[in-house]
Structure 1
């Protein structure tokens, strides 16, 4: 298998000039905060941009960067919420022509699709048509039928039904070579200053081993790393822009790793009690920024598990509940980050969520039930369907971290020509087992790079793409990094087609 993945973003740069009157930078910034808090994000972005320009003219770099960060945050809130009502209707008409006009109109009602209010108008998420399809099993099965292909099911079910002998809980290893790079046009960066770059790398886990770093460039500017153990893999560069005189700034990381299938055999009736005084238990049963254990989630968790006391069976009840209740859908992560909305809470409140959001809600519900849980991530590498991915893991004493991938499990419902028994077998597999097509970068969300970029980056919860910071620039360098980043993953000895999916 050979898979080419491209991570890209839409580059949105707010422009503006200083106001003609004598309004101070502080007043402009304060007005921007007021507009932001009142949901006028376009106006807020313009005000932040104007205040940034005035601060720069005054030589006030610290406040200029503060305004610059808020300008970017305001733009990120809307960057994926790009459709007005007319445009959303057109997208639905093109993508879901089999639905009636009344059915498509119903999709655009509040609560039926992802939307927000800004600057006096309703803004709709660009992927409104796909999300409507994801929430309709009949449509998804018809899409699979027309393609004569049930994604994920066709790729993984033969592996699930293969009675390969395992030596313990791990087997069926697959080795991948990754070639990743950024080729950033030099003209987009200032003449002087420092470009700071954090590039993600694989980490050693019980199922991911034999990591070999093959090449890191430009080697002379590596400040720390490579790190391939712990909870987050990375290498950190500081590149002096004054020394960069070519047309591009090129950064690359090539490496190899082996990942194995996981098949846990668990004696449900002999699970030892948790050590509730341990750091692991404390860390993975508390609230964190995107796995929020709020009162509503606690109440639903209690209603799901009822009187069940066994942690394995509790987790299975939560797993089944999410598959039944929360169908997959893409979400505007930049909106969630910009508005500081926890991922787990967003899905709990709205019913919309992708692999990361589903896995974070699973973890939140488990934590509310006293089960340590987390959301691990990187990429899934199923042949022909590779792309960024997150999945959940919960902890059992004596066994360690047990995988649960509600997203891939749910794809069984999209299969058009499978029996109910096979669909259930597929779902059963992804609770307590995991296919070998995984590339793990981080063991949990909300883990920071080292050194911590802090508020200099917005996407600080997941690290599937590099983080870029340049204090001297007034471009959105983080989005530029996403736009010019690419990664190719090739399975050793398995040539195949190139493809990409998220």
Structure 2
């Protein structure tokens, strides 16, 4: 079945489903065109606070909290401060990707308490497709973003799938557009997946299970781009504030950001430099925004997001890092596929950052005037 044929069938099926399930008035309201059009403008300032409180005593503990370590034309990291009762507390850095995190050790004499405050500035992004980039990345840097990772191999089924998708495409932007469209049509948001997913793209392709969350879907997008010869990278971060465009699923609640982690993606295009991408959020809008699973990527609720997230994103989100296969300093439990959540070990055993009963922490954000 060709891509266009599948899309036509999806549109027909989703239209029939929506008409039969929704009351006519609600359906008509959902058909109204929504607006989602981030544009570069003023910087926004945020303070992000992460509080960790481990209740167990008598056993040594270690905690690692990711810090924003991205300096780009769309994000500035301003400062990091911390307080707590750790016997040692300090910043550590991943040697390959430069990802920063606070590493703290506790002797177990009292419940471990740690508070980290980070200040950043962010702004909206949108690519001017008529204007070439003023600055270009060095070849050595670009080669770095064409390499495989543990969960992102670039041979075998990944390379084969990428070549099928981009067959006949002559430019890097054409390749990326095809992969972006393929991701939106082939994958889907699966709310039952824990956290942001695992990001094992080989398993996704081998099993044909394309349901996941941002770590899976944008990870697959990045892997396919790399396998097609286009430098690409995941940006692991967190939503900080509601969307200015009224999309409920594209924003965070500043008072409680514990489940607001989200990774985005970038590709490097020869004419335009690093360009923002987020096909996973298109899938999130399709699955969750209206309360009814929209399966038509051209639906009026979805279309503005699909268009804008090819080349842009909203600055109500912060990136921590671009890192894969992270070995935390002092950890005894191996590498992380990515660093987007606080991490902890008690007595050498890792706590589950997605289990609030076992690992108590809270993340919040506030807007700042400067």
Q: Post-superposition shift, 1:282? A: 2.9
- 1:18-417 residue pairs with structure 2 within 5 A? 138=17, 158=35, 160=37, 170-187=40-57, 189-190=58-59, 194-206=60-72, 207-218=74-85, 221-225=88-92, 231-241=98-108, 244-245=109-110, 248-267=111-130, 278-330=139-191, 332=193, 343-348=200-205, 349=207, 350-383=209-242, 385-386=251-252, 387-397=260-270, 399-413=272-286
Distance 1:173 1:223, change over 3 A: closer
Partner of residue 343 from structure 2, selected from 452, 467, 488: 467
Unaligned runs of 5+ in 2: 1-12, 243-247, 253-259
Q: Post-superposition shift, 1:288? A: 1.0
Computing the radius of gyration from Cα coordinates, the structure with the larger value is 1
Partners of 2:136 and 2:117 in 1: how far apart?
42
Partners of 1:489 and 1:270 in 2: how far apart?
32
Q: Post-superposition shift, 1:178? A: 1.4
Unaligned runs of 5+ in 1: 1-134, 165-169, 494-502
Secondary structure of 1:196's counterpart equals strand
Secondary structure of 2:219's counterpart equals helix
1:333-356 deviations in Å (ceiling 9; x for gaps): 69x87xxxx611233231222111
1:214-237 deviations in Å (ceiling 9; x for gaps): 44334762144599x964231111
Q: Post-superposition shift, 1:146? A: 7.5
Tell me the C-alpha RMSD between the 2 structures.
4.1
Aligned length: 327
Distance 1:484 1:422, change over 3 A: closer
Partners of 1:136 and 1:489 in 2: how far apart?
37
1:141 and 1:413 in contact (8 A); partners too: no
1:457 and 1:469 in contact (8 A); partners too: no
Q: Post-superposition shift, 1:176? A: 1.7
Partners of 2:62 and 2:122 in 1: how far apart?
30
TM-score, normalised with respect to structure 1: 0.56
- The answer to which structure has the higher helix fraction is 1
